[in-house]
Amino acid sequence: MDMAQEQDTQHALLIPWGQFAREVGLVSGIEAVKLSQKVYEHTPQAKVVEFLVAILSGAKYLQDLSLAAHPLDKDLAVAEAWGQAGWADYSGVSRTLKHLSWTEAQALAAVLEQVSQPFVESELATLRSQGCKLQYDGDLTGLPVSNTSRTYPNAAYGHMSDEIRLGYQAGVVSLQSPTYGRQWLSVEHHAGDTVSCTQAEALVLAAEKSSGQRPRRRTDLLQKRIEAFVQSREPAEKRLISQQARLAAAEQAQAGTLAQLQAASAAKPKHIQALERRCIRRARDVEIARQKLDKTLAWLKAHLEQEKTLRKRLEQFERENAENPQPVEACFRLDAGFGTYDNIALLIEMGYEVYVKLHNHKITRMLQAKVTAETGWTHVGDNAEMVAWAGMQLQHCPYSLDIALERFYTGQKQKHSALAHFGDTLVTTDLPTWFGKYNARQTIEAGIKETKQVFYLHRLKVRSEPAIYLQEAMTLFAANFIRWATAWIEQHTEQDENTLPIGKMGIKKQVQVAANTSAKVIQNSDGMLLRFSPASAFAGKQLFFRSVTRTQNANRFLSFFTFLALIAQKLR
């Protein structure tokens, strides 16, 4: 038996994570990105890898790389696991991130997307095999900085956690995953004054780009909407003709009065004064007629522009349907910030089943007025009740929606909100299921909470805007990566009573405890043993990875893509 090599680490779980990262091509992908920076002791690509490892370790601040109780940049065992000769000081990592261009940051984010793609495709295949709809959730989350800061480029004031704060917004989309619970698909960086109602289409398009899937566009509904839209213009067009005639008559009357005034220079003063007053009235009549005409013209111009937009959308959707021989069924859930009529109509036309809370608070008051003492409320939650109406036509909304009024208590205070749904599901006949379906979007809210409480996304570790975007992308990737790595570790470790039950540990415990605890790394040709320190939280536990080159059990140590196929097969 060959001599074993032993190393100590203070960041135990980062060791197998590094091996997994190398196997899926993450490290080599980052190293292949061209970064136009000078190389001293460490390459800029190596510093980017170190930045990602810092996020995975749950570092609150970039300086924790070098100044924490157990500095990561001194942990050579972790560096080796991640294919690095060593780590740079945090100041060097900071300089590299500061000088990243947008093109470079986007290229690095593209590597994360490339690594993610097989996992996304595996989940999509599993969902198809189970006959499930794709379930997307979208949201906008604030990333505040100090209100007195002047060093964050393009930061702006906006609504963040029920406050007006200076900072940024991140638009995020997740996919409900049968294997991992939640799979982040995309993140978009925005200024802090970005509001949710402007981002619904962007979230949907980001989801479709990441998944490569889209439902069949509802061009039949859109065509009927356009026809009704054109017909709705007829009263205004008739009004335009009459207003043009009234303006012409008013201008003619004004001209006649002015002519009378000019011809009355020798008339009595009282007659001249009467004509002058009449001229004032005629001028006012002309101005009123012109204002009404201008208002109608402006309305018609906006109406024609909107019709042009709808027709362009119809042409685009017809092309997309022709190019999409295998459409999927998909559902999108959004909160009230996105729930405008325009957004709802767009998502319907894009082919989605829609669950949303309505943005217009007037609808909530209107629904409350419809409720009487005889109205039968349905208990749907611990402190929530609902009453619903199927196929309700709301003013200014082009499509009929299933509408529900929800009432619930927060402390002693009763609150109301309005939910809307469009799709084939008969939600009004099963209100508890509707309530549960919509509120299951808490999975994305829990995910956002995880990014901030486990990975500290809200503590921006950099001040360059491209680097801030990279931190956002890497944080969501880290949340996915750990879930993938957990399944990989379970598949690749020998299981006995001393094996660390990694699959039973939550993400928070893995990051804040297992990735920051001491262990001995013992390697020889048989494999690698990660033995947790007697002084650690996992004393007596270990993880043993047998060397692929020495094992004869091909089913035990799978290739990366076979591993994904097995996970999907087990869930069918």
The helix (run of H) or strand (run of E) holding residue 378 is: strand 378-381
Q: What is the pLDDT of residues 175-198, one digit of tens each?
A: 999 999 999 999 999 999 999 999
Q: Is residue 153 part of a domain?
A: no
Report the b/e string of 130-147 with b at 16+ CB within 10 A: eeebbbbbbbbbbbbbee
Calculate Rg over the CA atoms of the chain. Answer: 32
Is residue 148 in some structural domain?
A: no
Position 2: which residue type?
A: D
Instruction: Please check whether residues 436 and 470 belong to one and the same domain.
Output: no
Residue 551 lies in a domain: yes
288-291 own/partner pairs: CB under 8 Å, 24+ apart:
288/250, 289/243, 289/246, 289/247, 289/250, 290/247
Residue 13 lies in a domain: yes
Q: Which of 322, 356, 389 is the last residue of a domain?
A: 322
**Residue 2: what pLDDT?**
63
* Segments forming the whole domain that contains residue 560: 5-104+461-571
Please report the sign of the dihedral spanned by the C-alpha atoms of residue 510, residue 512, residue 514, residue 515.
positive
Phi-psi region of 391 (alpha: psi -120 to 50; beta: other; left: phi over 0): left
**Cα–Cα distance for residue pair 525/265, rounded to 1 Å:** 118
DSSP letter for each residue of 139-193: EEEEEE--TT---STT-EEEEETTEEEEEEEEEEEEEEETTTEEEEEEEEEEETT
pTM of structure: 0.89
- Residue 428 shares a structural domain with residue 507: no
Q: Do 247 and 318 belong to one domain?
A: yes
Mean pLDDT, range 144-163, rounded to an integer: 93
pLDDT of the residue at 525: 85
Q: Are residues 317 and 284 in the same domain?
A: yes
Q: Mean pLDDT of all residues in the chain?
A: 93
Q: What is the β-pairing status of strands 542-546 and 353-357?
A: unpaired
Last residue of a domain, one of 378, 407, 440: 440
Residue 563 has pLDDT above 90, yes or no: no
- Residue 527: pLDDT over 70: yes
Considering the domain boundaries, does residue 327 fall inside one? no
Is 123 inside any structural domain? Answer: no
Q: How confident is residue 555, by pLDDT bands cut at 50, 70 and 90?
A: very low
Q: Check residue 321 and give its pLDDT.
A: 98
Average pLDDT over residues 117-124: 96
Q: How many structural domains are present in the chain?
A: 3
Domain identity same for 340 and 434? yes
Q: In the chain, what is the greatest distance between 2 CA atoms, to the nearest angstrom?
A: 129
Which pair of structure tokens corresponds to residue 438?
């919509």
Does residue 313 belong to any structural domain of this protein? yes
Is residue 501 domain-resident?
yes
Q: How confident is the model at residue 420 (pLDDT cuts 50, 70, 90)?
A: very high
Q: Residue 365, class by beta-carbon neighbours within 10 Å (0-12 exposed, 13-18 middle, 19+ buried)?
A: exposed
